[in-house]
Structure 1
Amino acid sequence: MAVTDLVKLNGMRGIIAQKMSESLAKTAQLSFFCDIDATALMEARGAWKAAGVKVGFEDLIAKAVAGVMARFPTFNGVETAAGVELHDEVHVGCAIALPGALVAPAIANVELLSVSEIAVVRQDLVDRAKRGKLTIAELTGATVTITNLGLTRVEHFTPILTYPQQAIIGLGRIAPKPWVDGDGRTLVVRSVMGLSLTVDHRTIDGGPAGDFLGALAQALERADGLSPE
Structure 2
Amino acid sequence: MASDNILPLTGIRGIIAQKMSESLQKTAQLSFFCDIDASALVEARNRWKASGLKLGYEDLIIAALTSALRDFPLFNAVETERGAEPQDQFHVGCAIALPGALVAPAIFDVGSLSLADIAQRRADLVARAKVNKLTIAELTGATVTVTNLGLTRVEHFTPILSYPQQAIIGLGRMTARPWVAEDGETLVIRPVMGLSLTVDHRIIDGAPAGDFLTRLAQELESGAAFSPTSG
Query: What's the TM-score bracket when you normalise by the shorter of the two chains?
Result: over 0.9
SS state of the match for residue 178, structure 1?
strand
- What is the match of residue 124 of structure 1? 124
**Equivalent position amino acid for 2:198 in 1:** T
Q: Could you tell me which residue of structure 2 aligns to residue 190 of structure 1?
A: 190
2-structure distance, mates of 1:33, 1:160: 14
Superposition pairs of residues 141-220 of structure 1, within 5 angstroms: 141-220=141-220
How far did residue 82 of structure 1 move? 1.9
Cα contact 2:174–2:192 (8 A) shared by 1? yes
- Aligned residue for 1:74? 74
TM-score between the two structures when normalised by the length of structure 1: 0.98
- In the other structure, the counterpart of 2:89 is 89
Deviation at 1:2, TM superposition (A): 6.0
Unaligned stretches of 5+ residues in structure 2: none
C-alpha offsets along residues 170-194 of structure 1, whole Å, 9 cap, x if unaligned?
0000000010111111111100000
Letter in 2 for 1:65: L
d(CA) in 1 for partners of 2:228, 2:96: 26
Letter of the 2:190 partner, please give it.
R
Following superposition, which runs of at least 4 residues in structure 1 exceed 3 angstroms of deviation?
A: none
1: CA distance, partners of 2:4 / 2:11: 21
RMSD (Å), alpha carbons: 1.0
> Taking every aligned residue pair, what percent have the same amino acid on both sides?
69
- Structure 2 match to 1:42: 42
- What do residues 19-62 of structure 1 show as CA deviations (whole Å, max 9, x unaligned)? 00000000000000000000011100111110111111111111
The SS at the match of 2:226 is coil
Q: Which amino acid aligns with 1:20?
A: M
Give the total of aligned pairs: 229
Secondary structure class of the residue paired with 1:225: helix
Shift of residue 88, structure 1, vs aligned partner: 1.6
Are the counterparts in 2 of residues 144 and 165 from structure 1 also a CA contact under 8 Å?
yes
In structure 1, the gaps of 5 or more residues are: none
Deviations 1:164-214 (A, max 9, x none): 000000000000001011111111110000000000000000000000000
- SS of 2:89's partner is coil
Kindly indicate whether the alpha-carbon contact (under 8 Å) linking 2:219 and 2:225 is maintained by their aligned counterparts in 1.
no
* TM-score normalised over the length of structure 2: 0.97
Give the Cα–Cα distance (whole angstroms) in 2 for the partners of residues 152 and 3 of structure 1: 28
Q: Give the 3-state SS of the residue equivalent to 1:15 in structure 2.
A: helix
Q: Distance in 2 between matches of 1:2 and 1:12?
A: 24
Mapped partners of 1:161, 1:225: distance in 2: 25
Shift of 1:228: 3.3
Task: Give the conservation status (yes or no) of the 8 Å contact 1:47–1:228.
Answer: no
Aligned to 1:101: 101
Partner amino acid, structure 1, of 2:183: D
Letter in 2 for 1:75: F
Aligned to 1:16: 16
